[in-house]
Amino acid sequence: MILPTTITAGVEHDRMRLDVFVSMRLAPEYSRSQVARMIKAGLVTVNRAGARASSGVRTGDSIEVAAIPAGELDPSSYKDGDAPEISVIFDDHEIIVVNKPAGMTVHPAPGHPNGTLVDALLARFPELAVMAEPDGVLRPGIVHRLDKDTSGVMVVARTPFSRTALSRQFKDRTVKKTYLAIVKGKVARDRVTIERPVGRHPIERKRMSVRSTAPRDAVSHVTVLARFDPADADDPGTSLVRVKPDTGRMHQIRVHLASIGHPCLGDPLYGGKAAGGGFFHRQALHALALSLTHPRSGERLEFVAPLPMDFVEFLATKLFSSDARELRRWIELS
């Protein structure tokens, strides 16, 4: 349903909660949680008066739903050169799939107000401005995130319908994610499943930890793809691993790998003295592939982000192939 719109409560809706009624009428484009935020933001009125999400509607009530204002996301505010370039892997009327570079924050946040993925997307797809959240958060179409210094594939919703559908897939864990990491040391076992809840570090609030006082379940499946010998006496060696997470907790893969003694190379937050070997000035973590169901067609799709240059150069020094055929083998390895 296109906003703004006016809907009328019928007899069958009498005493139904306002957020339930409106979300039912706006489905599948808008979820109940989104409608609740719209009500809180004053975008929904009942008989031209403000109301609460928990208010009950009565037969004959006229509910007006205003359009979500784009606000600061007005694309005309972007000048040439203000927004970074972004590599688009795929786009259609419903979704955009990008290869996010390391060093790019997904959306504006304290300390990172500009040069974000959102800036890049708005410059290239200005119609995303109408996807602004009613609470004013600048994340149009963003349904999942990668850490600033993690590279790789991300999907972005292009319509409210797709935002709701994709968010549901992530919540239901039907989106399948494949990551590559280069870690410190030789991982002993070929396959490791790490089932350790992750939450905020009890003391250092910028870190996550498996020793949190309020953790959430987290599962990562690790497969060793290669082990590389030490370069010198002080080098513990390295391993190339594939990680398939079942859950999507903040910093999950980095925390899980560090918890088994094999942090990502170049990770200053969880790696301690895990050096980057001159190649990695960020955590050596890349979102290689993403498999999801297209919101409209229902077709199962898979998108692959090519290896970034630091991965390519590191693996070349080890005389290890990383061509497209090898990437496909790593993704499909059972």
For this structure, is 14 an active site residue?
no
Q: Which one of 119, 147, 149, 267 is the catalytic residue? A: 147
Q: What is the DSSP string of 285-310?
A: EEEEEEEEE-TTT--EEEEEPPPPHH
- Give the C-alpha separation, 52 to 35, whole Å: 11
Please tell me what DSSP assigns to residue 106: S
Q: Token pair for residue 206?
A: 């910028």
| DSSP string for 8-53 | E--GGGTT-BHHHHHHHHHTTTS-HHHHHHHHHTT-EEETTEE--T
b/e per residue, 30-59, with b = 16+ CB within 10 A? Answer: bbbebbbbbbeeebbbbeeeebebebbbee
Helix ranges restricted to H, the chain: 18-26, 32-40, 117-124, 160-172, 252-259, 309-317, 324-332
* Enzyme catalytic residues: 147
